[in-house]
């Protein structure tokens, strides 16, 4: 088996030995095998879990993962059901999973969504007498796969943190209420996406002024030893993922509204993302 992220081979051997002694291999179902879902499925398998997966359209089969023909088949024997299908499909996937997952299983929603949406999903799970976890993925998954830092909230958070931590997954519980983790992720997005917008604006103006390289170096020097790589990621990632990030920041703006907090910088960030979504070469395109 192969899993993304350095050092998972040694962790995998340890976990397989530990689980063999305990006679209890964790079963995780991953619904949604796009880029993030595939990386998590392969990562969990590489860490010693028994992983099933479902996706009606993904072309690539994750390594070490049993791919099933339906959600019902994938989740029927799972300890944890992981949803990575995008916020617009999260409710439908939850409903279908609730009908087939074991009574003691935990549903973990890793989709990026508004706190209010996570609370609604948790209420649906509670009505079906299933535990729910709002899981916030705190960095791009391609960097570290299953080793990407996570925040978890909801009535199933403590159980998920206890179990996944044994696999080596970096996850922290942040409260018993679904939506807490999503809210913290949105606050972080206000900072990170806002920082990216500042970098884009300064670099674009400097390019017009004929001093782009100098400006990029100045910004990088203020961001620590990894400044140059961070500036490059902010510029490239903002252009590449502008449409998705615009949607995320509109959710963040709405969340700030529920807090009665100013959202002036967030609004400007949305303007940048909207322009880049329409034309990735903006403002020079």
- Tokens standing for residue 272: 């940048």
From its phi and psi, is residue 210 left (phi > 0), alpha (psi between -120 and 50) or beta? left
Asked whether the beta carbons of 81 and 107 are under 8 A apart, the reply is yes
Beta bridge partners of 30: 53, 82
Distances (CA, A) of 253 to 14, 112, 235, 250: 44, 14, 22, 5
Does residue 193 carry a catalytic annotation?
Answer: no
Distances (CA, A) of 195 to 73, 95, 166, 174, 189: 43, 37, 35, 25, 9
**For residues 89 and 102, what is the distance between their CA atoms, to the nearest angstrom?**
21
Residue in 118, 130, 185, 245 annotated catalytic: 185
Distances (CA, A) of 239 to 2, 140, 169, 171, 189: 31, 15, 30, 29, 16
Q: Which residues belong to the active site?
A: 185
């Amino acid at each position: 088996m192969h899993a993304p992220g350095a050092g998972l081979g040694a962790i995998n051997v340890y976990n397989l030995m530990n689980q063999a002694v305990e006679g209890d291999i964790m079963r995780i179902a991953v619904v949604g095998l796009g880029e993030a879902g595939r990386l998590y499925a392969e990562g969990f398998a590489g860490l010693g879990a028994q992983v099933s997966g479902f996706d009606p359209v993904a072309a690539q089969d994750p390594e070490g993962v049993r791919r099933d023909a339906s959600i019902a088949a994938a989740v029927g024997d799972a300890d944890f059901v992981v949803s990575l299908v995008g916020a617009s499909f999260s409710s439908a996937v939850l409903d279908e999973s609730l009908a087939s997952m074991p009574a003691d299983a935990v549903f973990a929603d890793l989709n990026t969504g508004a706190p209010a949406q996570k609370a609604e999903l948790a209420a649906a799970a509670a009505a079906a007498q299933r535990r729910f976890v709002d899981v916030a993925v705190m960095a791009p998954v391609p960097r570290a796969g299953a080793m990407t830092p996570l925040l978890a909230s909801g009535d199933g958070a403590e159980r998920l943190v206890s179990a996944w931590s044994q696999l080596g997954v970096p996850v922290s519980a942040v409260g018993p209420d679904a939506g807490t983790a999503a809210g913290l992720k949105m606050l972080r997005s206000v900072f990170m996406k806002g920082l990216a917008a500042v970098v884009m604006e300064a670099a674009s103006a400097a390019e017009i002024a004929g001093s782009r390289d100098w400006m990029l170096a100045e910004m990088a020097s203020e961001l620590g030893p990894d400044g140059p790589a961070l500036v490059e990621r902010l510029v490239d990632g903002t252009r590449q993922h502008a449409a998705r990030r615009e949607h995320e920041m509109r959710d963040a703006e709405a969340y700030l509204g529920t807090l009665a907090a100013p959202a002036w910088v967030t609004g400007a960030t949305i303007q940048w993302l909207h322009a880049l979504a329409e034309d990735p070469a903006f403002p020079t395109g």
